[in-house]
Structure 1
């Protein structure tokens, strides 16, 4: 089929096709992508805030400090691990160990974040098998490989990428009447991921 040639006169006298539908389509797609991006990011931030729960102690600053773990002995009774909040609040970061249901010692820690929130969970940098951490400024540092995480949400900052992929696991503590309570079942079921 031969191409239809348009004369110069017809090029300027013919009515131009409207580009409005294409323009509206592009604007619509950009708006949908923008709204989806904002919605997903707002959910991520909520998760960060809920990961450690609400503040349970006064806010503090660890800037310029390196705080090592203090070893404690928690109470285990009625399927719960109990630690006085005051002990963690005073020492900033504590450690203890309990056996899981495979008779493997699970290293655990609890600490207060600069915003006063509580983390209680595993104390293992799983790829390097480091079992102790320190609070340094605004970071949580593995004492073995020096991998650093954000104190507030355990996001990887620097160090070994393999270790950064496995931050300490939150064991969902609750605080009642000045006592931190962790369900023993959480520790019994804990396994090394890497």
Structure 2
């Protein structure tokens, strides 16, 4: 009995072991996980022609004197994919707008030739101001609603209130001349804000 009492007394009188080492290790593991997920998953900012598959083979320079508006073209759904447009149409018009309409969902889409000659397909929507039309001038894409300006090649914000929300680049496939996006991608799309 005396032994039991001594053990209990020592439990309460002995200094507690520090858990600082354990917390330090957990903190380092958490930081390592965050850093690795950033590099594995990538950041949410669009990169230079990251999603552009089609290449026109010619560099494009949009004049600062001209204002290129989007040309509205029809789109269609075939075999579970949205045919946004054709490469030939983008080469001819340079900047198109269309709409995906299926399964109770409407998503405005755009395709344009970037200065490096590659074709970008994106959602034609500036989420904060809800603008869905744009124009190109001086190698920049400009929202017709709020006037926010992004670099046409990188979609990096240059000025305006909606700089963090450029037209959202989409990964597409080139099937013959068709620029296609799976319907499931568009059905699940939602604005970032």
The CA distance in 2 between the partners of 1:131 and 1:99, in whole Å, is 15
- Aligned counterpart, 2:94: 92
Partners of 1:60 and 1:191 in 2: how far apart? 31
Instruction: Give TM-score scaled by structure 1 length.
Output: 0.70
Q: State the Cα distance separating 1:146 from its structure 2 match.
A: 0.5
User: Cα offset for 1:143?
Assistant: 0.5
**What is the CA–CA distance in structure 1 between the aligned matches of 2:92 and 2:76, rounded to whole Å?**
18
Question: Gaps (5+ residues) in structure 1?
Answer: 1-39
Q: Give the Å deviation of 1:170.
A: 1.5
User: Shift of residue 121 of structure 1?
Assistant: 1.7
Quote the offset at 1:177 in angstroms: 2.0
Distance in 1 (alpha carbons) for counterparts of 2:155 and 2:186: 19
2:73 alignment counterpart: 72
What are the superposed Cα offsets for residues 61-118 of structure 1, whole Å, 9 maximum, x if unpaired? 10222100011111211111222111011111111112365x3421111111111111
Alpha carbons of structure 1 residues 104 and 184: separation in structure 2 relative to 1, 3 Å: closer
Q: Partner residue of 1:128? A: 129
Residue by residue, what CA displacement relative to the aligned partner does 1:25-70 show, whole Å, maximum 9, x if unpaired? xxxxxxxxxxxxxxx9xx99xx723513356112121022210001
Look up the match of 1:33.
none
Structure 1: how far apart are the matches of 2:160 and 2:134? 14
Residue 92 of structure 2 aligns to a residue in which SS?
A: helix
Q: Structure 2 vs 1, CA of residues 104 and 78 (structure 1 numbering), >3 Å: closer, same or farther?
A: closer
- Give the RMSD, CA atoms, in angstroms: 2.1
Matched, 1:62 2:70: no
Note the residue ranges of structure 2 that are not aligned, 5 or more in a row.
1-38
Contact in 2 for aligned 1:149/1:157 (Cα 8 Å): yes
* 3-state SS of paired residue (1:87): helix
Q: Which residue of 2 aligns with 1:177?
A: 176
- Runs (4 or more) in structure 1 with deviation over 6 Å come to none
Q: Distance in 2 between matches of 1:155 and 1:100?
A: 31
Q: Which has the higher helix share?
A: 1
